[in-house]
């Protein structure tokens, strides 16, 4: 009976220590998941992917003469590519993009995504690339049907925001990058190296609330419970030995 009681106390002590350790790990994971994302770094460029299609000639089976079944033409395809440097510490990160005419006021920003239409998710690679395609002029659409409408030859300002998909915490909007949309010359403005060591201004002034219970965070509460159980077990063992 004595050996069974000793084994029971040992198992209880071991289980308490394991619980405290798991609670500490759990809080670290919760804090990491609830952290406010950093302001994204990104580049943007206008790409002319247009190409020429050769004419198609066929032979008339009745006359034997060759004729042009389809004349040559140019397939016009233009893209706006936004490349965002990912934040791999987040398992579920979303992005939002907004733009305005460079000569428009601050209240003319247009956000491309919202919760109803969905946000593009961070890719599993080092960068997330958002590709907007146009085949009908200066109106561009992506896979989520977000629309960018820019006057041909005009200049648009772009900003990117990161959103924690677990908690909804948002970063500040990034610095502004401008883009000239010219379907004839394919100009690209304001490129920079995403791997550069240049400092990035972060909006990280807000402190994150930690899970609490009875005024203590999860780690403190778990450690208190573990200490109480350990002290109680020691007291029981000492008392038992004295008998």
**2-34 and 218-242 are packed helices; what angle lies between their axes, rounded to 10 degrees?**
170
pLDDT for the residue 241? 62
pLDDT for the residue 14? 57
The distance of Cα 186 from the centroid of its chain, to the nearest Å, equals 28
CA distance 173 to 39: 6
Q: What is the DSSP string of 182-193?
A: -TTT--------
CA distance 21 to 167: 24
CA torsion 8-11-12-18 (nearest 10°) is 180
pLDDT for the residue 42? 98
Strand, coil or helix: 29: helix
| Contact status, residue 17 vs residue 226, Cβ threshold 8 Å | yes
CA distance 204 to 123: 23
| Contact status, residue 71 vs residue 54, Cβ threshold 8 Å | no
Per-residue pLDDT tens digits of the chain, which is 243 residues long:
555 556 555 555 656 655 555 555 554 455 455 589 999 999 999 999 989 999 999 999 999 999 999 999 989 899 999 999 999 999 899 999 999 999 999 999 999 999 999 999 999 999 999 999 998 778 999 999 999 999 989 999 999 999 999 999 999 999 999 999 887 654 433 333 444 333 333 333 333 334 444 444 555 555 556 666 665 666 666 556 665
**pLDDT tens, 77-132?**
999 999 999 999 998 999 999 999 999 999 999 999 999 999 999 999 999 999 99
Instruction: Kindly list the distances between the CA atom of residue 47 and the CA atoms of 61, 179, 180, in Å, as whole numbers in the listed order.
Output: 43, 11, 11
pLDDT for the residue 215? 44
């Amino acid at each position: 009976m004595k050996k069974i009681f000793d084994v029971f106390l040992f198992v209880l002590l071991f289980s308490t220590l394991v619980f405290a350790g798991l609670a500490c790990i759990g809080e670290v994971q919760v804090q990491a998941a609830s952290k406010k994302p950093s302001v994204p770094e990104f580049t943007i460029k206008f790409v002319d992917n247009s190409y020429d299609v050769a004419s198609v000639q066929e032979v008339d089976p009745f006359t034997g003469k060759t004729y042009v079944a389809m004349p040559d033409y140019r397939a016009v395809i233009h893209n706006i590519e936004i490349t965002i440097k990912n934040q791999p510490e987040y398992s579920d990160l979303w992005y939002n993009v907004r733009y305005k005419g460079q000569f428009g006021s601050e209240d003319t920003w247009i956000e491309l995504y919202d919760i109803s239409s969905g946000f593009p998710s961070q890719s599993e690679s080092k960068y997330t690339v958002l590709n907007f395609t146009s085949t009908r002029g200066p109106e561009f659409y992506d896979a989520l049907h977000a629309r960018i409408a820019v006057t041909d030859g005009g200049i648009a300002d772009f900003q990117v925001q990161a959103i924690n998909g677990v908690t909804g915490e948002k970063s500040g909007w990034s610095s502004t990058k401008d883009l000239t949309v010219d379907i004839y010359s394919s100009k690209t403005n304001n490129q920079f190296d995403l791997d550069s060591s240049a400092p990035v201004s972060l909006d990280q002034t807000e402190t994150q609330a930690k899970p609490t219970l009875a005024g203590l965070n999860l780690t403190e509460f778990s450690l208190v419970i573990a200490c109480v159980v350990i002290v109680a077990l020691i007291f029981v063992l000492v008392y038992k030995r004295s008998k």
